[in-house]
Structure 1
Amino acid sequence: MRRAVATVLASTLLFAAAGCGGDDSGSATDGGPDKFKVGAIPIVDVAPLHLGIAKGFFSEQGMEIEVVNTTGGAAAVPGVVSGDFTFAFGNVTSLIVAKSQNLPLKAVAEGNSSTGQDGKDFGGVVVPKDSPITSAKDLAGKQVAVNNLKNIGDTTVRASVRKAGGDPAGVKFVEMPFPDMPAAIANHRVDAAWIVEPFFTTAKNQGAKVIASNFVDAAPDLTVAVYFTSEKVLKEKADLVKRFTAAIEKSLQYATDHPDEARAVLSKYTKIDAGVAEKMTLPAWPQKVNTASVQTIADQMQADGLIKDKFDVAQVLP
């Protein structure tokens, strides 16, 4: 847990140094729109956010957003705690770890969910095309890439290993950005990788084999990520939170109803080939969090030692 503790300490220091929000906390000083930053990883999961901005769903709520790219939920948490981001997109594991260590964070809206379909999800565990690995059971003793250590990737991959009858304790996880994973798999730099779209389709196009749908294995219709903010913003800018939540929920519904537009907007914030965008599997974008699925993840995190005590997700979910 040294890494998690270090993250918490860094976050706390950033929080104090930033004066709990500074000029990016969502205040309009001239009667114009509220201007603030949202931290988000540049993957397909956040297509509704970018689509909603393009469609004016946020501007009609009196907001002007700057999206700042992050590497994942673990990186987004310090940004929200420090006030660099007023809101951020992050997976539920990152938020549970942060809250269990008393960081003042709260989810405000659904982010994205698994499709719930084995073999037809927007991410999965892949291996090189000539790998002898045929199932998650074979990952024990192998090196598996995830975007952030001690996070939703390794938590759900362990779920796949358990379901396949293997021992998750023997898996060796290594941290690697999603964009680097297709080449790492193709060049055998790692034995396997947990990867999401659009890089998931890129890897498959290069011959990678899918051996597990880890989100599906972890929990039915898993809520993978949420949009969250600090308790300070919740308390002091309740109206801003209400408007942001309304805009993101409208964006989630629009992306669900217009999948072609969700695919197209990817070119605005990722370097994605049009052919990949056309073929890739989109996440589910419901408007509400599946609380039961997040509780299942929290229980798995405790079993894996990622958090010490049993965690009630009601304290962090909207």
Structure 2
Amino acid sequence: MNRLARTIAAASLAMGLAFVAGCSSDSDSGSKGGDGKSLEKVTYLTSFGNFGRDSYAWVAKEKGFFKEAGFDVEIQAGQGTGAVIQQVVADKAQFGPIDLTGGLLQMGNGQAKDFVAVAAIQQRTMAAIATTADKGITTPKDLEGKKLADTPSSVVRNLFPTYAKLAGVDPAKVTWVNGDAATLMGTLASGSVDGIGQFVVGKPTIQAVTKKDAVLLPYSDVMTDLYGNVLITSAKLAKEKPDMVKRFSAALLKGLEYSLANPKEAGEILKKNVDAANPLAAAAELELMAAYVRSSNTGTAIGTLDAGRVAKSIAILQGAGALKQGMTPEQIIDFNLAPKA
């Protein structure tokens, strides 16, 4: 090899090593959190599919809130309260939102344990029966003789007997069939069912999918004081890594607050990460959800949980015969980790 060839080879090798070193450096810097430490891998479940109401998790990831808190987060689609609890307790996911009332029913009736709520997502329940105007359902009583669809573990379905009792409906006259989070709205659009379990903020998406006017029967009309979704983790993780739980919760709530302030951008971020998402419907869902996230008490921070209100929720469920055993708020909520009111 002549001198020129040796010079070119050496230069090429140096450039190659520099490129590899540069890639290594970029990769390393990308795996560091805001404090320079390596990111901790976390799996997060959405509450129910990937709709606008759950877009705040994608926003927290996209805007770097999770990374700043020291987390590398994988977001997976949840399938309702019961399924999210099972995944979190089994450590297949570390965090996820569930409907607090659904969690009370699961824990109080011995169907689930070893999980705790650490922050509120919505201050009021958004559970509802959704239908379309052509079905002729305008009051709870109109549900008798109708067929409804939902996932077996959904809070809407599991809380229905309590809702029906308080609303003067005979639950034995309502037929439920199984559905999947991703296809429920399509099932309603097909006309094979008269209604579906849904959150009230799903109205824009329902109308986009069915091409019909949506009608919602909110559970909050007959059951006041019930919280909506809360963030949960396993009791084990809460006990062993309380600082980690607080950091994750704060990052997620930051994403929630940003999403409510910037619903259009949040809808676009959801679409970027979930191809099937409708960004306009997602933004509309967030605009509707804002009233449920923010407390009616001026100055109360997003995410707070009040023991007195949770006690009232327990009393409502016990009064309706929905809970088999007595409970206290502290059994399901870790108030040491929840944001302070």
Smaller-chain TM-score range? 0.7 to 0.9
Aligned pair partner of 2:180 in 177, 184, 191: 177
CA contact (8 A) 1:146 1:176 kept: yes
Q: Which amino acid aligns with 2:118?
A: V
Is 1:63 the counterpart of 2:59? The answer is no
Q: TM-score, normalised by structure 2?
A: 0.71
Distance 1:208 1:187 in 2: 14
Aligned pair partner of 2:118 in 105, 108, 115: 108
Give the Å deviation of 1:174.
2.3
Q: Secondary structure at the match of 1:130?
A: helix
Is 1:273 the counterpart of 2:289? The answer is no
Deviations 1:139-174 (A, max 9, x none): 12322222334x420355456545554333432222
Is 1:217 the counterpart of 2:209? The answer is no
Q: Cα distance 1:176–1:273, how it changes in 2: closer, same or farther (>3 A)?
A: same
Q: How many residues align?
A: 282
- After the TM superposition, which residues 3-42 of structure 1 pair with which residues of structure 2 at under 5 Å, given as runs? 32-40=38-46, 41=48, 42=50
Deviations 1:50-106 (A, max 9, x none): 211212122111111111222112111121111111222222234224433262111
Give the Å deviation of 1:246.
2.1
- Please list every run of 5 or more consecutive structure 2 residues that lacks an aligned counterpart in the other structure: 1-32, 294-301, 335-341
CA contact (8 A) 1:124 1:210 kept: no
CA contact (8 A) 1:156 1:218 kept: no
Distance 1:246 1:273 in 2: 27
Is 1:307 the counterpart of 2:323? The answer is yes
Q: Which amino acid aligns with 1:289?
A: L
Is 1:192 the counterpart of 2:202? The answer is no
CA contact (8 A) 1:90 1:226 kept: yes
Q: Secondary structure at the match of 2:129?
A: strand
Q: Which amino acid aligns with 2:246?
A: K
Name the larger-Rg structure: 2
Q: Which amino acid aligns with 2:136?
A: P
Q: TM-score, normalised by structure 1?
A: 0.75
- After the TM superposition, which residues 99-248 of structure 1 pair with which residues of structure 2 at under 5 Å, given as runs? 99-100=107-108, 101=110, 103-114=113-124, 124-149=128-153, 151-158=154-161, 161-162=164-165, 164-196=167-199, 200-205=203-208, 206-220=211-225, 222-248=226-252
Q: Cα distance 1:291–1:171, how it changes in 2: closer, same or farther (>3 A)?
A: farther
Give the Å deviation of 1:195.
2.1
Instruction: Give the CA RMSD over aligned residues.
Output: 3.0
- Please list every run of 5 or more consecutive structure 1 residues that lacks an aligned counterpart in the other structure: 1-27, 117-121
Q: Cα distance 1:282–1:179, how it changes in 2: closer, same or farther (>3 A)?
A: farther
Q: Cα distance 1:243–1:171, how it changes in 2: closer, same or farther (>3 A)?
A: same
- After the TM superposition, which residues 250-261 of structure 1 pair with which residues of structure 2 at under 5 Å, given as runs? 250-261=254-265
